[in-house]
Structure 1
Amino acid sequence: MPVLVAIPARFASTRYPGKPLVPLTGATGVSRSLIERSWRAAREVSGVDRVVVATDDARIREACEAFGAEVVMTSSDCANGTERCAETHAALGGGFDIVVNLQGDAPLTPHWFIEDLVAGLRAAPDAGVATPVLRCDGAALNGFLADRREGRVGGTTAVFAADHSAMYFSKEVIPFTSRRYGDDEETPVFHHVGVYAYRPDALAAYPAWPTGPLEQLEGLEQLRFMENGRKVLCVEVEARGRQFWELNNPEDVPRLERMMREMGLE
C-alpha cells in the first residue's frame, strides 16, 4: 500500500509571510529553514514511498531543490494544504493508497506520529481522513491559554467521540475547563497535530466542496470534511518525552529553537 507524504508550503502566508524559509537554529548551531526541517522530519518516517514538497512559489522551489527535495509545483489558487495535496496527488498520476499532508510548519513532528496515523487510518475503513491528537499536559495547556489572552492564534484543539470520530476542532481552547493545572499534570484538552492522512477518494472530492461557515470562521481546513458529512478520525499519539509545537507566529521561533536545544536536535 504505497504512501505519499506531501509537504504543502506557500510563501504568501497572511499571518507570517515567507514562513517556510524562516531559519531555525538547532542544538549544534546549525541553521536550516523551516521547510528543510519539515522535509527532514518526513524522511525519518518508516513505510513512506515518496516525499515531495508542494508549492506555488519559485523561491521555495529553489530552496528545496538546493537541499535535495523533490518539488511539485501547484496552482496559486489552492486555498489550503489539503487542496494543494489533492492537486499534487493528481499531478503525480495518483496510485497512492494513502496521502499524508505534513504541513510545513511542524518540523518537530516525531516520525511515530505519522506512522501511528497511517496505521490508524488503515484500521478504520469508514474514515476518509485521519489526524493525530496529543493530550496536553499543564504546560502545553497554559501555553495555549497564554496565547489566547495575548491575542495570538496558537495551537488548535480537538474534541472527539468515544469511537474517536472528531466532533469539533477550534483555535479556541476546548473543552472549557476552569481548573488550573500544574506543568506535568494530565489535562482533558487535546492538541490537534497539524498532519492529515487521506484516502484518495476523500482527498479528490475535497476541492469541489464549497467552503462552509465553520471552516471560514475557524480557518481550519479539516472542518470541510465534517461539514460535508465525512468522518474524520482522531488518532491519539504519545509524546514519548518529546516536545511538540508548530510555528504559527514569529514569536514561536525562539520557542522552537529552545525546544530543539533542550532535545538535542541538530
Structure 2
Amino acid sequence: MKTTILIPARYASTRYPGKPLAEMVQADGSRKSLIQMTWEAAQGIAGVDAVYVATDDDRIADAARGFGAEVIMTAPEAENGTARCAEALKNAGLETDLVVNLQGDAPLTPPWFLEALIAAMAANPDAQVATPVLRCDEATYGMFREDRAAGRVGGTTAVFDAQNRALYFSKEVIPYIDPGKVPDPIPVFHHVGVYAYRPAALAQYITWPEGTLEGREGLEQLRFVENGTPVMCVEVDARGRVFWELNNPEDIARIEAVLQAG
C-alpha cells in the first residue's frame, strides 16, 4: 500500500497567524520551526513512501525547502487542511493508495500514532477515513478544562460508537462529566489532528459544501460525518508521553516544557 504524507500549512491562521513558522526551544537549546519539527517527525514514520509540505504561502514554502522538504503549492482558497490535501494530490498528480494528513500544529505527535493509523487502514480496506483518538489522562483532562474555563478553544474531543465510528467531534469537552465524580479511567478522548484518507474520499470531500456542524465547530472532519461517510476512530496509546497540540500562543510554553524534558 503506497502511502504519502501531506503536511498542509497555511500562514493566515485565524487564532494564530504564522503558526507553522513559530519556533520552539528544543532539548539542546536550539530553536526549530513548527513546520520543520513536523516534517522531521514525518521522516521517521515506518511504511511511508513520500512526504510533502502543501502550502499557499511563499514564506512557508521557502522555509520548508530550506530544510530539505519537497513542496506542493496550493491556492489560498483551500478552506482547511483536508481540502488542501485534496488539491495538492490533484496538482501534483500523485499516485498513491493512502494519504495521511499530518497537520503542522502537533509537534508532539509520536510516530506510532501514525503507524497505528496506517495499519488500521490496511486492515480495514473498506474504511475511507480514519483518525487517532487518545484517552485523556488526568493532566490532559485538566488542560482541557483549564482552556474552556479561560474561554480558550483548545484541543478537540471525540465520541464514537461500539464499532469505533465517530458520532461527533467537538471543541467542547464531551461527554459531560460531573466535576465531583470524575471516573478512572476518564471517558474523554482527545482527538489527535491527523487523518488518513483513500484518494476517492478526498476527491468526494471537496464536492460537498461546508456542513452546518462543521461551520459551527470549525472542524473539517465533521463534513464526512454530516455526509454519511464513517470516520474510523483508532485508539492510540501515548506510552507515557505527553501529547498536546499548538492551538493558541499559550500552548508554546506547555509544549516547550515537554521538549526540554527530553
Q: TM-score range by the shorter chain?
A: over 0.9
Measure how far apart 1:249 and its partner are: 0.4
Task: Tell me the distance in 1 between the aligned counterparts of 2:93 and 2:102.
Answer: 20
Measure how far apart 1:125 and its partner are: 2.7
Matched, 1:137 2:137: yes
Correspondence for 2:64 = 64
Correspondence for 1:55 = 55
Residue type of the partner of 2:191?
H
Measure how far apart 1:180 and its partner are: 5.0
Correspondence for 2:174 = 174
Residue type of the partner of 1:127?
A
Task: Tell me the distance in 2 between the aligned counterparts of 1:102 and 1:207.
Answer: 18
TM-score by length of 1: 0.96
Measure how far apart 1:138 and its partner are: 1.1
Residue type of the partner of 2:248?
N
Residue type of the partner of 1:41?
A
Residue type of the partner of 2:128?
G
- Which SS does the other structure have where 2:187 is aligned? strand
Q: 1:5-35 CA distances to partner (integer Å, 9 max, x unpaired)?
A: 0000000011100111000011110100010
Correspondence for 2:20 = 20
Distance change in 2, residues 1:69/1:180 (3 Å): farther
1:99 and 1:198 in contact (8 A); partners too: yes
Correspondence for 1:101 = 101
- Where do 5+ consecutive residues of structure 2 fail to align? none
Which portions of structure 1, spanning 4 or more consecutive aligned residues, are displaced by more than 6 angstroms? Answer: none
Measure how far apart 1:153 and its partner are: 0.6
Correspondence for 2:199 = 200
Residue type of the partner of 1:203?
L
- Which SS does the other structure have where 2:240 is aligned? coil
Residue type of the partner of 1:136?
C
Correspondence for 2:254 = 255
Correspondence for 2:237 = 238
Shifted more, 69-78 versus 117-126: the winner is 117-126
The alignment of Structure 1 onto Structure 2 pairs a total of residues equal to 262
Task: Tell me the distance in 2 between the aligned counterparts of 1:243 and 1:185.
Answer: 18
TM-score by length of 2: 0.97
* RMSD across aligned positions (CA): 1.3
Residue type of the partner of 2:5?
V
Correspondence for 1:147 = 147
Q: List aligned pairs for 1:33-48, cutoff 5 A.
A: 33-48=33-48
Correspondence for 2:75 = 75
Q: 1:108-132 CA distances to partner (integer Å, 9 max, x unpaired)?
A: 1110000000111222233210000
Task: Tell me the distance in 2 between the aligned counterparts of 1:65 and 1:92.
Answer: 16
Task: Tell me the distance in 1 between the aligned counterparts of 2:55 and 2:20.
Answer: 10
Residue type of the partner of 1:96?
T
1:23 and 1:34 in contact (8 A); partners too: yes
Measure how far apart 1:64 and its partner are: 0.6
Task: Tell me the distance in 2 between the aligned counterparts of 1:107 and 1:139.
Answer: 18
Residue type of the partner of 2:205?
Y
1:126 and 1:231 in contact (8 A); partners too: no
- Which SS does the other structure have where 2:134 is aligned? strand
Correspondence for 1:9 = 9
Task: Tell me the distance in 2 between the aligned counterparts of 1:27 and 1:190.
Answer: 28
Task: Tell me the distance in 1 between the aligned counterparts of 2:122 and 2:180.
Answer: 38
Correspondence for 1:113 = 113
Correspondence for 1:210 = 209
- Which SS does the other structure have where 1:126 is aligned? coil
